[in-house]
Structure 1
């Protein structure tokens, strides 16, 4: 025979099995494990770094004068109340930062992170009063936007 080899003496099924490559399951599994491990490291590191900023922001609020903290809380109450009524108004970055004030106030009290709890309680009362007034107001959305033009798009 001209082409004598083991390959030519095989049946068609055996040739098909040799010709088709078997999937490298171990390599695929290893790749998936490495991808998941890399994603987990990224998530854990970002969560750890995000957690470090909250106490710093709470201490920043604690160092603010009472009048300025109450003004920020009142502003946050107005913005949250208006956002509840006027869903068409979109907040920009400054507006979203104002919305973070009550979250920090409540976290500071709940997690005992504030050095001055009565100060935070007064600011929370100012926030809640402003929020209740803003929700009950009957002004149209454009009037509300005109009160704080730098907070909305």
Structure 2
């Protein structure tokens, strides 16, 4: 079964004391596709002391009461995330839509300070949603930390419904 996904918004996450990872992104719609455009900025060099995690939650009735869902990327080194998951799944998808540094087979750590564009990157459509994904409003939160303090991240809100 296919689903309808409406990407509602993306919000940058501020740091607890300072924001070293800044996401200024927005969704646009082109026909039936959603595109993401904007900038990703690292205000400092990010090494092995920086961690990354992603949590997901959903609200069946679309309210602000979200239930945690087991789809997660557990906390790990940001460098390791780029070396493994990003390199295998993200980089082939995004490479033609950004000037973000290429991550070679051995990884790239520390990650350089800089600012990179994301232009017209096509997001998933409803054919890629797992069959058992609950319908409703989804919240996907990325948290990036250094020494136990949040230094940035983002939150994506998307509504999943049956394709009629």
With structure 1 as the length reference, what TM-score do the two structures score?
Answer: 0.23
Q: Larger Rg: 1 or 2?
A: 1
| TM-score for both structures, normalised by structure 2 | 0.23
Flag the structure with more relative contact order, 1 or 2, with Cα contacts below 8 A and sequence separation at least 6: 2
